[in-house]
Amino acid sequence: MKIRRVPDVVIRRLPLYLRVLDEIDTDLSPIISSQELGERSGVTSGQIRKDLSFFGVFGKQGVGYSTVTLRAELRRILSLHQEIYVGLVGVGNLGQAFIRYGVSQSKKALPNEGLRMVAAFDRDERKIGQQVAGVPIYSVQHLPGIIEKLRISIIILTVPATAAQAMFDRCVESGVKAFLNFAPVKLAIPEGIRVHHADVTLELESLAYYS
């Protein structure tokens, strides 16, 4: 059962900790301290201990955390101890790149665990029926049925801004509650739906200040 009332900023840091733990050779480092985890993740040791305290006690004071145990607990908290099926809407250049990236990351996951890219959707008839990195492309007309059939619970939106709201609404109506949106547009989001926005243009423009 998931712990409630955890700040979003804490949830966003958990995958960072998990990434560090996934990269560690557990035979060489069976125990990891909050200080070492902090140095590797760029987060203070105090913040790590505070973040983990929302979910229970995983380590021993003065000793540290079992690398294997903490990794397993973080995967459980994030629901990555099971398969989570992901779909993508908009198979343009960005969409295709993201599919290939998603498939490559899935192969690094533990057997039968983690995020799985299982379907992509597009309006272009020339793309429908094709595959990108083994992921089949379906017509957006079949989106509701495919989402239900494949039990897709996360959707990545890489569509133009003009199509984003309509595609988002269709996915919500089909039961999807979690989205990663790359479209440069503000969406009208119903209660109970979670959307994380990734606007590459805004990030680049902010970096221009430091160039």
Percent helix / strand / coil, the chain, rounded to 5: 45, 20, 35
Inform me whether the pLDDT recorded for 1 exceeds 50.
no
Q: Report the percent of the chain where pLDDT is more than 70.
A: 95
Domain stop point among 46, 77, 108: 77
User: What digits encode the pLDDT tens for the residues 9-30?
Assistant: 999 999 999 999 999 999 999 9
Same domain, 131 and 197: yes
Inform me whether the pLDDT recorded for 61 exceeds 80.
no
Same domain, 15 and 69: yes
In 124-193, DSSP assigns E strands to 131-132, 135-139, 152-157, 178-181
Same domain, 94 and 177: yes
User: What is the rounded CA–CA span in Å between residue 185 and residue 161?
Assistant: 6
- Indicate whether 3 belongs to any domain: no
Instruction: Give the pLDDT score at 20.
Output: 95
User: What digits encode the pLDDT tens for the residues 81-137?
Assistant: 999 999 999 999 999 999 998 887 776 666 567 899 999 999 999 999 999 999 999
Domain range spanning residue 26? 8-77
Same domain, 174 and 89: yes
Instruction: Give the pLDDT score at 79.
Output: 93
Domain count across the chain: 2
Domain stop point among 77, 93, 118: 77
Contacts 24+ apart (CB under 8 A), 199-207: none
Instruction: Give the pLDDT score at 110.
Output: 61
Decide: 63 and 131 in contact? Cβ < 8 Å.
no
C-beta atoms surrounding 2 within 10 Å: 10
Cα–Cα–Cα angle for 195, 102, 91, nearest 5°? 75
Instruction: Give the pLDDT score at 199.
Output: 85
Q: Which residue has the tokens 């397993």?
A: 72
